[in-house]
Structure 1
Amino acid sequence: MSKEQTKALTPEKEGRPELGEVEGILLSQATCNEWQRIQSFQARPDDLLICTYPKAGTTWIQEIVDMIQQDGDLEKCKRAPVHRRHPFIEWARPPQPSGVEQAEAMPSPRTLKTHLPVKLLPPSFWEQQCKFLYVARNAKDCMVSYYHFQRMSKVVPDPGPWHEYFEVFMAGK
């Protein structure tokens, strides 16, 4: 399925995001518009970057990591919603603060997260020799979970019918 066909699955009338492309990877157009800023993001040596494919257990691992970092103190873990404690570096949905803005405002050490493929990570994560926590999940489980998530959430593209979604997913789109 082409970029144009995939875009057709995201009707603006439903408030779903428009799509753009960076190095062959489909991303929200808002993320594409912020791409220079994302790529110039300055990681710090004590940053921890949680790297996951969507619906692979991102929230679970964030909560586990936070619980470890807070020495098991549940009250400290309730200090803010998980998306504020560990912002997505590629998050861009104006007028909300971008993930880069949120991360830049955080004190060290920071725990950040991303769904970006490794080739699209800001170079500073490598230059600063940051720690990475990679989480993988069975691709079939991710596909089914992501399909249902996309059906109910308006912040991601509409998946269309299952048979089309399956083909798009298998093509890596």
Structure 2
Amino acid sequence: MLKNCGGLDGWSMKLKSKLDIYQHTLQQATSKTTPIMSERPKLLEFEGIMLTHIFTDNWEKVKNFKARPDDILIATYPKAGTTWLSEIVDQLYFGEMEGRKPNIPIYERVPFLEICMEGLEKGTDAVERLPTSPRLIKTHLPVQLVPKSFWEQNCRVLYVARNPKDNLVSFYHFDRMNKVQPEAGPWDKYIDKFNSGQLVFGSWYDHVQGWWNKRETYPRMLYLFYEDMNEDLSREISRISSFLGLSPSEKEKERVTGKTKFETMKSNSMADYSTFDMMDQSISPFMRKGTVGDWKNHFTVAQNAEFDEEYKRRMEKSTLAFRMEI
């Protein structure tokens, strides 16, 4: 039995009732999530970073979101292992919860706080509708734009960062296939957009360093690296469990590790976004390779040398370091 500081052992009938209502609502919905988009959104500058209207249209409710003390915030720059970490945390808390049906997509189990688009429930509303406790909440916001209530309520926060070359490659293919993202454009120009922060959620450099620096003043944060997770998933799951105050048995850790391996998740329709119609996975799968070092198949020698110079310049004063291969 999983033990934790939130007390999962004695769930009340009230929670079961909420789950029944929640699952009934899901059964009444269509089998596909179908946002309505007439054309791809355009980038706009908002609060000093680049976003699209999808992430600004509900801003007052996002900004004033009321976190609860037991909320768990999962934060990343886009395409840095968000779904992977979300699935791990969800499995640790609720993977074997009695009465929970298996056909709930990850984006409903771990709502995207700032998303707001026609045909899709607002992220803030989806969080409020969660029947489970703790609530698992996803964000791509840079640290300075995270609702203050998360810090005020002393919530646990997990952040995962990915080396910039692989992150760039993954984001590029994501923008190619995702109709709710701006057009990717040609690869060489995409590198320039990444380095200049002209992508949704702004600069990778500012994002990873901003969250890294937050650790100095906010101890209830665990900063993870995609490369470490790829190298030894079981080890990192143990670190995550310890941070969350969970004490899974070895058998339970093995179960979670098995459920969250890349190939397992890639074949899981509740984790691979195959139920989200706005992603054209014939162009590129949402879960593409899940490796470290795939950037070598994309960067030319000249592009790599130029990128290394930019990386060195932008990171020279930071204690944050990344592995480009393992």
Task: Answer 1 or 2: higher relative contact order, Cα 8 Å, separation at least 6.
Answer: 1
Asked if these proteins are the same fold (TM beyond 0.5), I'd say yes
Are 2:118 and 1:86 aligned? Answer: no
Distance 1:170 1:19 in 2: 16
> What are the within-5 Å matches in structure 2 for residues 146-165 of structure 1?
146-165=171-190
Flag as ranges the 4+ runs of structure 1 deviating above 2 A: 18-21, 70-79
The alignment-based identity, stated in percent, is: 49
Which position in structure 2 is the counterpart of 1:40? 64
| Structure ranking higher in strand proportion | 1
Question: Is the contact between residue 87 and residue 113 of structure 1 (CA under 8 Å) also seen in structure 2?
Answer: yes
Distance 1:64 1:112 in 2: 13
2:149 is matched by which residue type in structure 1? Answer: S
Shift in Å at residue 96 of structure 1? 1.5
Distance 1:157 1:67, change over 3 A: same
RMSD of the alignment, in Å?
A: 2.0
**Deviation string, structure 1 residues 125-144 (Cα, Å, up to 9, x no partner):** 11111100010111110100
Are 2:199 and 1:171 aligned? Answer: no
Where structure 1 has 5 or more consecutive residues not aligned to the other structure, the ranges are 1-12
Out of 151, 158, 168, the residue aligned to residue 143 of structure 1 is 168
Structure whose alpha-carbon radius of gyration is higher: 2
Which position in structure 1 is the counterpart of 2:306? none
**Deviation string, structure 1 residues 50-93 (Cα, Å, up to 9, x no partner):** 00111111111111111111255699472511000000111111
Are 2:141 and 1:116 aligned? Answer: yes
Distance 1:126 1:27 in 2: 23
TM-score (norm 1): 0.85
Are 2:83 and 1:59 aligned? Answer: yes
Which position in structure 2 is the counterpart of 1:8? none
> What are the within-5 Å matches in structure 2 for residues 117-136 of structure 1?
117-136=142-161
Distance 2:141 2:101 in 1: 26
Distance 2:136 2:65 in 1: 14
**SS across alignment from 1:33:** coil
